[in-house]
Chains A and B, each alone.
Chain A
Amino acid sequence: MIGEKTIANIGGGAVSIAQHVGGIVVLTGQVLRALIPPRIDGRELVKNLHKMGNRSVPIVALTALFAGGLMMLQSGPFVKKLGATGLAGWAAGYAVLREIGPILIALMFSGRVGANNTAELSTMTVTEQLDGLRALAIDPVKFLVVPRVIAMMVMLVALTVIGDLVALVGATVVGSALLEIDASTMYHSFADNLKPYDFLHGISKSVAFGAAIAMSSCYFGVTVRGGAVGVGRAVNAAVVAAAVSIMLLDFFITYLAG
């Protein structure tokens, strides 16, 4: 009896995952289709760019500062034990530019912007504003979803560029304040060991993360059902889906790009 219930649960879970993935793919198709004659509502786009990008700078900068400091805290003692302080920037910088920077910034972005966007879109959906748009012959995907997707992709890349820089500053600050590795050593260590490709590797990840966050947050926003409880559940589902897809994409991009 227990076996039957477990199998039913697993099957139900698989079906609902397949349903959501399919829904996200269909929405992506609709977004791409809406881009074919590229006519985007400029005012909505600028509004979203400002709301999603400029207003996330403080939280992203703080996260990046701590992330850079953390990498330095973890790698610093080891590097010092080996007596190779010149390599301090290599270990921290490499980890920050390729992995920790893009992932942590994307996770914070998904919490700040993706969840917010789901909350906003799902509130519009449950208060039937989307149906109102449809009644006025305005395609909600074209008017609401497309500008948001573009804004999130552009702004996550821009924020990752800022965040990478701030994280390297954080690593330098921690190195000189807690580990007695002076700033000039750190600077030369960064400059000698980090290649432009490391930076581009991280940026290419954040393009994909931005698309994943945007699509999952818009999908759960427009398909929500049932009042305030539904909105909470949609936001929860959107951040979980974004986190899973960030990890999966990270893995595949790392393998493909090397």
Chain B
Amino acid sequence: MNQRHISYGIEPEALAVYQALVQEHGSPLLVISRHKLVGQYRALTRQLPGVSLYYAIKALPNPEVIRILAEQGCHFDVASAGEIELLQPQLISGRKTIHTHPIKKDRDIRAALRGGSTTFVVDNIDELKKLRAYRHRVGVLLRVSFRSASAAVDLSRKFGCSPDQVEDIVLQSRELGVHIRGLSFHVGSQSLDPQAHVDAIRLCGGLINQINQGSVNPMNLLDIGGGFPVDYACENPDMDAYFTAIRAALYELPEDIDLIAEPGRFLVAPAVTGISTITGKARRGDYQWYYLDDGIYGSYSGQLFDHVQYPLQITSNDLAREPSILSGPTCDSIDIIAEDILLPEMREGDLVVGHMMGAYTAATATRFNSLDCAKIILQD
């Protein structure tokens, strides 16, 4: 988990904007910046030229985000029938999707096919057998797992076959008459070290080369997953160096391999700002408690599920600070956003701003205590 970054004081112009938004829409809010979202998409297309981007809808399943990314030419990574349904009102063709959940019911497969989503991911023979009835309609990717010691979220424990199983599964798939089009992997999320990605790309490239030797039906696709890090700790990491290493590894692959990636967090995290309001305060022991109208059961759910500490910004830059606790609105004692932090005295009605709150925030928010989730609005 990253170190919490707190900034004190808000530029008057920015504060006026936040206040006007709360005035108009109420609090709490999650504000999507179209400008930043498009900026992230374009940055990633620049960093990964030749890689088709499939936005992982689960990070923020929001219609506006989907619309804006679709306008930019982005494709979509879906993992459920519900996610496919989010694309349909916007008339986004199923041809622009890939279904990435490795474990599916027959009903899920049929719903995906009906939505026009024909590329599926599997990681074992039993799942491959489920696709046998649809083998002339579908394209199949085999998910390979690579354990990453440095990633904040290890995605290789739950899904993926080991690299040494790949050849055997491919052989069995041929017997079943189901063609495996390529490999996919997820090395985990939020690691600033590109080595896991680089190793996985090289290993998959080697596996594809090996399997394609003498194969009449070669693999032609590598899905490098997502997990590209964003800067929750406000440390300005060298993203150019990170992506340069990944590009170099991709460059070593045979030219005829199509590349896709499934960014979620990278696209949406920096594009969303959370605005909440102090609804009450109390002095308890050595601590000053502040109660906000958003918390762990709401937009800050990612602190629990996603192991992220969002950068916070408060209105006052007063240097007189005391140990404080920022609490969420529910009755549960775990609903604490930040404790043991130094804060200047704040007043009821003051705003607390959370930055980088696009990914796995609203997506995992609950309505515990029958509290409404933060309203999501689009700006600029």
Does chain A bind chain B?
A: no
A contact set with B: CB distance below 8 Å: none
B contact set with A: CB distance below 8 Å: none
